[in-house]
Amino acid sequence: KYTGPSFETMSEIRKTRLNPALTTYYGSPLAFHQGHMQWLFDINGRRYLDMFGGICTVSVGHSHPKITEALHKQIQKLTHVSNVYFHPKIHEYAVRLTEKFPGNLKVVYFVNSGSEANDLAVLMARSYTKNFDIVTLKNAYHGMTYQTMGLTSNTGYKYKVPQAPGIHNIMNPDVYRGLWGGTHCRDSPIQTSRSCSCSVENCEAKDKYLEQLRDIFKYNVRPGGLAAFFAESIQGVGGTVQFPKGYIKGAYKLVKEHGGLFISDEVQTGFGRTGEHFWGFEMHGIEPDIVTMAKSMGNGFPLAAVVTRPEIAQALASSMHFNTFGGNPLACTVGITVLDIIEEEQLQKNCLEIGTYFLKEMEKLKAKHSIIGDVRGKGLMLGVELVEDDKNASPLDSKRFMKMWEKTRDMGLIIGKGGLFGNVIRIKPPIV
Ligand code: PMP
């Protein structure tokens, strides 16, 4: 039974004592006080099916008993000791986590949030390449610190302050909403409705989008002067946006030709969520130079990381690089247990099976209802784009979207919302 402050008291505290820019979902916000696996319970005792997992964060389930037990044991033994000393957990976790990566991606830096991880990745790329310029995609979300707000390309998350210098946001290769379509779905169970008609081997849309990247070297960045290219494997906040098949591979090649590093932001797509692979970049057939991760990594515990190759890490070794909480014994205990659970409960396979089934069923609904413009994603990283008219993809009027959204809440279903026009249903549940 809930015994905490009333809804009215919390509302008052929100209004007067908390960040006023914090948006709340729904007309009358929900107040949760308990969770169990895929379920959330509000303070009135009502149960909800959580299809958003705290924005793609609760991966192996709310209050998973195995994590609770491991954390309890660890907190009784040792909570914190600075990394200037040895403690077993960070060493154990460093090995377990880097085992999940291909090639020489074997050095890990533990931090506390996705923004912090991307910030560090910028520093790393600039220090290694001795170049300054960074390229990111429009509609991307990479964080909210000074530097990462610059990487993020969505005015909803920008303030009227000078944005970090040296960052170029290029045209987004969005298969559904972009100028040139694309063929990302050719090898997946569904076809996107506005895909172009060319073949996977020779996708013209991919080539046109890559031309945009080439233009950067003509007009903005000196040839050979790139520090890094950043991309999410599937855009998350941007509305589960996928790229034309072959685009990321082509971008990787161009980035290499211009002396830059390829940085994969796996904050949403990592840890098995996309089903076929453990990391999203694997679906694109590339091996990035730097990978950033957070969210699912700690199942809700503040835990994030940057993984790279030893020679890149070495470029940061000229000064002291230090992080007080990064890799503390509690965070590492949670991280190790998350990996154990994903393996023991075969959750990556679960993402593939349930996600593919979900996509196929949603595709059937799309055929029946013109309000569904696009159904997309991979595994349990899914998006449903709602439109007024599926011929021209005009975004669903926000009042209609909100009405639908409130209804799902009344039905006991928690789903996310996103995309540039706020008209995409985001489905990223705990992967149990
Ligand atoms: N990258 C991506 C892809 C994200 O979705 C987010 C968070 N929405 C971040 C980075 C930033 O993570 P954090 O909020 O932990 O700073």
pLDDT, one tens digit per residue, over 345-358 is: 999 999 999 999 99
Which is nearest to 238 in space by CA: 184, 157, 118, 144? 157
Q: How many Cβ atoms are within 10 Å of 55's Cβ, its own excluded?
A: 14
**What pLDDT is stored for residue 196 in this prediction?**
55
For the cut 70, the answer to whether the pLDDT of residue 386 exceeds it is yes
Average pLDDT of span 414-428: 95
CA of 397 to the centre of ligand 1 (A): 27
**Residues of the chain above pLDDT 70, percent:** 95
Q: Give the per-residue SS3 of 26-78.
A: CCCCCCEEEEEECEEEECCCCEEEECCHHHHCCCCCECCHHHHHHHHHHHHHC
Average pLDDT of span 395-400: 96
CA of 332 to the centre of ligand 1 (A): 19
For the cut 70, the answer to whether the pLDDT of residue 111 exceeds it is yes
For the cut 70, the answer to whether the pLDDT of residue 185 exceeds it is no
Sign of the dihedral defined by the CA atoms of residues 70, 278, 108, 147, in that order: negative
Radius of gyration of the chain (CA): 21
Nearest residue (by CA) to ligand 1, atom 1, is 142
Q: Alpha-carbon distance 142 to 125, whole Å?
A: 15
**What pLDDT is stored for residue 204 in this prediction?**
81
Nearest residue (by CA) to ligand 1, atom 12, is 114
Q: Alpha-carbon distance 67 to 62, whole Å?
A: 10
Structural domains of the chain, ranges and CATH numbers in brackets: 1-432 (3.40.640.10)
CA of 204 to the centre of ligand 1 (A): 31
CA of 223 to the centre of ligand 1 (A): 30
Measured from the Cα of 113, ligand 1's closest atom is 15
Average pLDDT of span 124-150: 98
pTM of structure: 0.96
Q: Alpha-carbon distance 425 to 285, whole Å?
A: 28
Q: Which residues contact 343 (CB under 8 A, 6 or more apart)?
A: none
pLDDT for 150-183, tens place per residue? 999 999 999 999 999 999 999 999 988 888 876 5
CA of 57 to the centre of ligand 1 (A): 10
For the cut 90, the answer to whether the pLDDT of residue 391 exceeds it is no
Residue 291, both tokens? 């990978």
For the cut 70, the answer to whether the pLDDT of residue 329 exceeds it is yes
CA of 114 to the centre of ligand 1 (A): 5
**What pLDDT is stored for residue 99 in this prediction?**
98
**What pLDDT is stored for residue 180 in this prediction?**
81
Q: Which residues of 363-379 are buried (b: 16+ CB within 10 A; e: fewer)?
A: beebeeeebbbbbbbbb
Which is nearest to 58 in space by CA: 296, 359, 246, 374? 296
**Residue 235 DSSP symbol:** B
CA of 234 to the centre of ligand 1 (A): 13
> Which carries the bigger pLDDT value, residue 207 or residue 262?
262
For the cut 90, the answer to whether the pLDDT of residue 142 exceeds it is yes
Measured from the Cα of 235, ligand 1's closest atom is 3
For the cut 50, the answer to whether the pLDDT of residue 237 exceeds it is yes
Strands 290-293 and 304-308: what pairing?
A: antiparallel
Average pLDDT of span 237-246: 92
Measured from the Cα of 118, ligand 1's closest atom is 10
Average pLDDT of span 256-260: 97
Helix, coil or strand: residue 424: strand
Query: Which residue ranges have their beta carbon within 6 Å of ligand 1?
Result: 113-115, 118, 141-143, 232, 236-237, 265, 267-268, 294
Measured from the Cα of 116, ligand 1's closest atom is 16
For the cut 80, the answer to whether the pLDDT of residue 184 exceeds it is no
Which is nearest to 30 in space by CA: 9, 59, 7, 53? 7
Q: How many Cβ atoms are within 10 Å of 66's Cβ, its own excluded?
A: 15
Q: Alpha-carbon distance 158 to 409, whole Å?
A: 29
CA angle 389, 176, 228 (to 5 degrees): 150
**What pLDDT is stored for residue 393 in this prediction?**
85
ipTM topping 0.95: yes
Q: Alpha-carbon distance 298 to 294, whole Å?
A: 7
Lowest-confidence region among 103-107, 177-181, 289-293: 177-181
Average pLDDT of span 58-62: 97
Do 120 and 304 form a contact (C-beta atoms < 8 A)? no
